[in-house]
């Protein structure tokens, strides 16, 4: 009986390893694509007068912002109910409000958001980006519970 259990565990481990190897290959392919896209964008920028010095200065600015806590993963106020929504870590560019269920698209390098399909089946456009929710604001449960 122990041998059957060992064989089952070995098969399960082998399956996990194959899945992880496949995911690693997919990430390598994605990384190669992103590298090609980045190189193409850099060449376009150079063709339009952007210098290495300008690029390096911008990179230094971004490093400084990251050191100060700046992140591309933005929290915004929900366009429907005003509660904070954060971009999903599992589904890039998407966020869902845990209070009202609104699903929004986060656009990279921008504060623009767009409500995705609503309960009635239509998309709602948001003219103005909602204000960012400050990360340093202490959590107050009475704000959520209505006390």
Q: For residue 112, give every residue at least 6 positions away whose Cβ sits within 8 Å of its Cβ, in sequence order, or none.
A: 126, 129
Return d(Cα 63, Cα 49) in angstroms, integer.
23
What's the pLDDT band for 44 if we cut at 50, 70, 90? Answer: very high
Q: For residue 133, give every residue at least 6 positions away whose Cβ sits within 8 Å of its Cβ, in sequence order, or none.
A: 75, 76, 77, 84
Return d(Cα 30, Cα 18) in angstroms, integer.
18
pLDDT over threshold 70, residue 16: yes
Q: Is the pTM of this model over 0.85?
A: no
For the stretch 100-135, pLDDT in tens is 888 888 776 665 666 665 444 444 444 444 455 555
Q: Are 77 and 84 in contact (CB under 8 A)?
A: yes
Phi and psi for 123 in degrees, rounded to 5? -90, 145
What's the pLDDT band for 40 if we cut at 50, 70, 90? Answer: very high
- Going by C-alpha positions, the residue among 72, 70, 81, 142 that lies closest to residue 115 is 81
Return d(Cα 63, Cα 68) in angstroms, integer.
9
For the stretch 54-107, pLDDT in tens is 999 988 988 887 787 665 556 778 888 888 888 787 887 888 888 888 888 877
- Domain layout of the chain by residue ranges: 2-67, 71-137
pLDDT, residue 121, reads: 46
Return d(Cα 76, Cα 85) in angstroms, integer.
5
Return d(Cα 61, Cα 140) in angstroms, integer.
33
For tokens 């964008």, name the residue.
41
């Amino acid at each position: 009986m122990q041998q059957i259990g060992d064989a089952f565990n070995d098969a399960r481990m082998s399956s996990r390893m194959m899945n992880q190897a496949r995911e690693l290959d997919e990430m390598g392919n994605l990384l190669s694509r992103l590298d090609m896209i980045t190189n193409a964008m850099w060449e376009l920028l150079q063709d339009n007068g952007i210098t290495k010095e300008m690029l390096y200065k911008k990179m230094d600015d971004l490093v400084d912002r990251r050191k100060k806590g700046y992140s591309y993963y933005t929290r915004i106020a929900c366009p429907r109910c005003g509660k904070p929504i954060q971009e999903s870590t599992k589904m890039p560019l998407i966020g869902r409000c845990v209070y009202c269920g609104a699903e929004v698209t986060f656009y990279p390098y921008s504060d623009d958001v767009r409500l995705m399909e609503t309960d009635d089946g239509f998309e709602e456009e948001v003219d103005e980006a909602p204000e960012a929710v400050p990360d340093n604001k202490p959590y107050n449960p009475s704000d959520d519970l209505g006390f």
